[in-house]
Structure 1
Amino acid sequence: MNDGNIVNDLTVVVELFNVYALMLLFIGGFVLWALNWGISKASLKITEKMPTRRFLILQITTLVGFVLYTVGTIALVIGVLQPPKEFMLAAGGSIAVALGFALKDIAASLVAGLLLLFDRPFRVGDRVSFDNVYGEIVSIGLRTVRLQTLDDNLVTIPNSRFITDVVASGNAGELDMMVVTDFHVALNADIEQAKAIVEEIIVTSRYAYLKKPVTFAIEEIEVGYRLAIRLRAKAYVLDVHYEKAFQSDIVVRVSKRFTEMQVARPG
């Protein structure tokens, strides 16, 4: 009786996965990939024309790709193979048990991916710090998150890591972001003069977002075994893509102005 059941199951499987069905599955899988690729390319072109809506467009693209692959794969398998109900239940149970043991890490990442899409601790386009890696989130996939560092390295991180580890988002979905830059002057320097110089340089930078205030945190610290004054300037860049350009601009110009105005530096 058991041998007969096994033979019947094998016969059902062979009938399902015939050459015609496999060809349709391959073509359908290629169509899903092509659609997702086309949507991604179209979204990039739209972001170039609507840069202020870049984050929203990228988030919608990520969600559409996720739904497309999930729903499309299920529809493709059921529509092409049309397996019997009993076979689907039996196969589903067996696959679930096997995957539960063999692919528990991947399953955890898939579940974490769903949580990331709905809980949204960060979004596509955000600048985040995670485990000593800093960069921009370029995609949130079913299994991994891809992060582009400022050195143009693409870092791939399993989704499950973001559920248990701490991640910091610098702009939380906004186009602008705070940039913190430190300047050091000697103890005998005119602090008010130095602060005024830094603030003037920041507000005249073409990268500055002036709808949010420029603030300072001033404290005495040790620099090269000597005490000095640290001026920590906190200002906003108008687009996260200009973060380092903004910081470089103000550092170069402030250093030049300090020299011209003979502001005493630690040394």
Structure 2
Amino acid sequence: MEQDLGEIKVGFIGAGKMAHGIAQGILLSGKVCPGNVMVSAPSLNNLGKFKDCGVRTTHCNTEVVRVTRVLFLAVKPHIIPSVLQEVSAVITPQHIIISVAAGVTVATLERLLPTGSMVLRLMPNLPCVVQEGALLFCRGTRAGPGEAGLLRELLASCGLVEEGPEAFIDIHTGLSGSGVAYVYMLAEAMAEGAVKMGMPSTLANRIAAQTVLGAGRLLRDSGQHPAQLRADVCTPGGTTIFGLHALERGGLRAAAMGAVEAATERARELGGK
């Protein structure tokens, strides 16, 4: 059931790309007005783009906490302890705290926050800035279905929003958070292959980008397994099977699986697990 978000006050501590992408998604939903959003950052560098959206800005983290109910922690993981030490005195049982800091566990957040705080941990990815993100969240010990539903409602315009156990968050980081870079690398390599064969770089990059976009949408919207869609492109003795054979010889499948594994393990290391 959709919730009435009209009077919900949303705050962001941190004004980087991810905070901006999430804020844009929330505003695009039309359910939260810009005047009900406030963002804090220590310098003016990143606050300008929020001001352009009509969002209130400040340099004071505690001011954001005092005037909002839903609070996104969008700072670097190593800054989380000092930020929470600063604002804990003004956190109330009515606040919903949502961390997007990679590697910072729910247990750590709950230890640093006042006892009984409602905590959720969210891992978005960069395409949130164009409302095509893949976001996974988990709940803390006090956050219930109501808080989960509110978060889903707020983020509905940011892309795909899924809930899972906390153990999946680091895997999601390796698959989707870091995975965006894997896709960019593949797109770059495909375009360079076209340049090698004689196509101008600008045109090759545009076509590679559209190919990635179209393939992704078809995969998402068809509901079919990637292997089935791949098979649909292949014809006996055709160009695609020759290209796929070259990718298999180059170890693309094993390399991609290894990349997800390596990034997941690194996320676990950052979280002290």
Q: Does TM, scored on the shorter chain, surpass 0.5?
A: no
**Larger radius of gyration, structure 1 or 2?**
1
- Normalising by structure 2, report the TM-score: 0.26
Q: Which has the higher contact order (CA 8 A, sep 6+)?
A: 2
Choose between structure 1 and 2: higher strand proportion: 1
Q: TM-score, normalised by structure 1?
A: 0.27
